[in-house]
């Protein structure tokens, strides 16, 4: 088994696949990349049992076979090569030899048969989504997903496909983000919960692609195929909470203001907030927004006044500054709208501008109780 491949082309593909591999694996074989050679096509795979990702490379070869090569060692050596063709030859003494312009390097390999097989989905449903749309949907929602192992359904992103459009939701019970598209539709209704790790990997590579992503899914697994990549992952089992029920429908108090100005103020004032509660207070009266924070233990306090466009009753409401900062940073618009009903009901943040046709972003942040 022998093949020739460009060093930088191979490195680029392996670095993407390397993000699948865990730093400590229960099965030693998972510390390897699986190389499957079929004449001039090389399929490289990486897996952590939950997620398996593979990439197909065009190479120069006339042989066939499969071997598992140590991932860390291979990535380290590839990073040191300038751009050049490398020749990989599988020797009889259980080593694979790499020949470069300047030398030869041998690594031990494991038989390819030992590598766990990727799941093949039986009769899956499928939907086509433009890579750009999927990348935006992931980056707009993933930050709001929880990290609580006791509530695994909240540690992923909820995909809800229907003939009307696509909806992506993430929540950790303190904040919630709903990203919807009506310009991309699915042929039939379906919903599933995607874990964070494969989504982060997808987010990293979708941004540079202008392909259509084919998403195939059944009750337990989902596969994403685009360009020369295929990613298969196990879905989170369970029923997603009814997120529509927590979004307040009647919000008579509406505040519109410049996003970057609001964000800068929140960041500055938050430095003076209590380090455990991160509580900041918004006091709105007329066209004036007063943002303040106080840490009584250390006698630290800060207060800023901003002008805003406000319709509604005068009110005071408390928020966790970290959640507010995360949401404002994630929105790209020039102006944002904050809708509220009562100081103990969730506030709804939405961008006023900068959205595509058929795109909506709704962010919900739970208030914190103010101690007067």
- Mind listing the domains of the chain with CATH numbers? 2-114 (3.10.150.10), 125-245 (3.10.150.10), 253-365 (3.10.150.10)
The pLDDT tens digits for 226-268 are: 999 999 999 999 999 999 999 999 999 999 999 999 999 999 9
Measured between alpha carbons, how far is 273 from 115 in angstroms, rounded to an integer?
52
C-alpha dihedral (208, 214, 217, 220), degrees to nearest 10: -30
Measured between alpha carbons, how far is 204 from 132 in angstroms, rounded to an integer?
12
Q: Please give the full DSSP string across 249-279, using - where no structure is assigned.
A: S---EEEEEEHHHHHHHHHHHHTTS-TTT-E
Q: What is the pTM of this model?
A: 0.92
Checking DSSP bridges between strand 32-38 and strand 64-70, what pairing results, if any? antiparallel
Q: At residue 337, does pLDDT exceed 80?
A: yes
Measured between alpha carbons, how far is 308 from 269 in angstroms, rounded to an integer?
17
Average pLDDT over residues 102-124: 94
Q: Where does the pLDDT of residue 210 fall: very low under 50, low under 70, confident under 90, or very high at 90 and above?
A: confident
Mean of the per-residue pLDDT values for the chain?
A: 95
Q: At residue 5, does pLDDT exceed 80?
A: yes
Half-sphere exposure of 233 (CA within 13 A, CB side): 23
Half-sphere exposure of 148 (CA within 13 A, CB side): 10
What residues are paired with 96 via a beta bridge? 90, 107
Average pLDDT over residues 353-363: 94
Average pLDDT over residues 215-228: 95
As given in the structure block, the two tokens for residue 273 are 């907030």
CA angle in degrees (0–180, nearest 5) for 241-247-251: 170
DSSP H stretches of helix in the chain: 7-18, 71-80, 131-141, 196-206, 259-270, 321-330
Q: At residue 164, does pLDDT exceed 80?
A: yes
Q: Where does the pLDDT of residue 316 fall: very low under 50, low under 70, confident under 90, or very high at 90 and above?
A: very high
Q: Where does the pLDDT of residue 372 fall: very low under 50, low under 70, confident under 90, or very high at 90 and above?
A: low
Half-sphere exposure of 282 (CA within 13 A, CB side): 31
Q: At residue 117, does pLDDT exceed 80?
A: yes
Sign (positive or negative) of CA dihedral 235, 239, 245, 248:
negative
């Amino acid at each position: 088994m022998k093949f020739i491949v460009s060093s930088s082309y191979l490195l680029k593909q392996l670095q993407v696949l390397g993000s699948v591999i865990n730093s400590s694996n229960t099965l030693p074989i998972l510390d390897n990349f699986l190389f499957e050679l079929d004449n001039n096509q090389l399929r490289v795979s990486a897996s952590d049992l939950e997620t398996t990702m593979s990439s197909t490379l065009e190479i120069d070869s006339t042989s066939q076979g499969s071997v598992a090569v140590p991932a860390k060692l291979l990535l380290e050596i590839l990073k040191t090569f300038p751009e050049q063709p490398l020749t990989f030859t599988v020797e009889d003494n259980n080593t694979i030899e790499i020949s470069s312009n300047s030398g030869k390097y041998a690594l031990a390999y494991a038989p390819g048969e030992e590598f766990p097989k990727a799941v093949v989905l039986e009769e899956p449903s499928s939907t086509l989504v433009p890579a750009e749309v999927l990348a935006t949907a992931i980056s707009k929602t993933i930050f709001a997903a929880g990290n609580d192992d006791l509530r695994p359904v909240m540690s992923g992103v909820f995909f809800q496909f229907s003939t009307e459009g696509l909806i992506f939701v993430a929540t950790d019970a303190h904040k919630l983000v709903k990203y919807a598209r009506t310009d991309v539709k699915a042929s039939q209704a379906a919903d599933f919960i995607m874990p964070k790790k494969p989504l982060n990997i997808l987010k990293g590579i979708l941004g540079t692609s202008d392909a259509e992503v084919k998403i195939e899914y059944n009750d337990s697994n989902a596969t994403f195929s685009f360009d020369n990549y295929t990613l298969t992952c196990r879905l989170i089992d369970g029923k997603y909470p009814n997120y529509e029920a927590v979004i307040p429908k009647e919000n008579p108090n509406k505040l519109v203001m410049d996003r970057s100005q609001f964000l800068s103020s929140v960041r500055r004032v938050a430095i003076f907030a209590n380090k455990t509660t991160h509580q900041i207070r918004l006091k709105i009266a007329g066209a004036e927004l007063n943002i303040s924070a106080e840490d009584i233990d250390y006698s630290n306090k800060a207060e800023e006044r901003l002008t805003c466009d406000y319709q509604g009753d005068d009110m005071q409401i408390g928020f966790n500054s970290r959640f507010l900062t995360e949401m404002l940073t994630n929105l790209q618009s020039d102006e944002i709208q904050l809708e509220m009903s009562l100081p103990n009901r969730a506030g709804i943040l939405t961008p006023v501008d900068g959205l595509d046709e058929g795109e909506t972003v709704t962010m919900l942040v739970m208030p914190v109780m103010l101690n007067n």
